[in-house]
Amino acid sequence: MNFEQLRSRVERAELLADGRTRQTHASWDALKLHWRQGWTPARIVVAGLVTGFVAGKTQPEASLQRVGKLAGPQTMQIVTSLTGLMSSLQAAKAAFTAKKAAATADDAAETADEAADTADVAAGAAVRSQTATAGAAATPATSAGAPQASRGGSPAAAPISSPSDRARRPDPSWDAPPGAAEAATDVSEPRR
């Protein structure tokens, strides 16, 4: 046998080994898939009951000792301390989140207060500007001898206001109780 024949045999063997490796992996993946699909909750419970029954019948003392080692007082102490640790960590996280939310709410409230103050200052300046403009416009008319009654009253008594100023001002009709006629009408109407 020469060198080329040996080399070709080795290459064939390597290809065969690679193919078998791929087949093994494919078979293993299929087995895992079918194994997981086969274990339904009912089958898990039945398998646990059967295994427990068999273990209890064949070696009851050894089974009880194993369970005792797993569920001993030290294990219970560890479980309860870990549970307390987890609950305290969750409480600390909740407190941190609440503190952060409170700080965000405080910042938002301060920003809203600053915006309201700025809006009030701007509205006051606009009203003063409109009043001054109305006063300047009324001065030539008054000096020309135009009567105040023809314009509907003095400018000082009814200043010109923008719609946003009127929206902020409360309605004066709600400040006083209703008149006698309004109150009597509301009560005297029959109910249907």
pLDDT value, residue 144: 46
- 136 near 130, Cβ under 8 Å? no
> What mean pLDDT is predicted for residues 36-49?
90
Q: Quick one: which of 143, 139, 140 has its CA closest to 156?
A: 139
How far apart (Å, rounded) are the C-alpha atoms in residues 122 and 101?
A: 31
- 159 near 124, Cβ under 8 Å? no
pLDDT value, residue 165: 65
pLDDT value, residue 62: 75
Pick the more confident residue, 80 or 148: 80
pTM score over 0.75: no
pLDDT tens for each residue of 104-140? 888 888 888 888 888 888 887 777 777 767 666 555 5
> What is the count of structural domains for the chain?
1
Residue 81 has pLDDT above 70, yes or no: yes
Q: How many CB atoms lie within 10 A of CB 155?
A: 20
pLDDT value, residue 147: 46
Residue 96 has pLDDT above 80, yes or no: yes
How far apart (Å, rounded) are the C-alpha atoms in residues 166 and 171?
A: 9
Residue 33 has pLDDT above 90, yes or no: yes
Residue 77 within any structural domain of the chain: no
Residue 30 within any structural domain of the chain: yes
Structural domain range at position 20: 1-38
Q: Which residues contact 138 (CB under 8 A, 6 or more apart)?
A: 151, 154, 155
Q: Which residues contact 139 (CB under 8 A, 6 or more apart)?
A: none
Tokens for 129? 């500007």
pLDDT value, residue 65: 74
Residue 43 has pLDDT above 70, yes or no: yes
Residue 36 has pLDDT above 80, yes or no: yes
Residue 90 within any structural domain of the chain: no
Residue 2 within any structural domain of the chain: yes
pLDDT tens for each residue of 131-145? 767 666 555 544 444
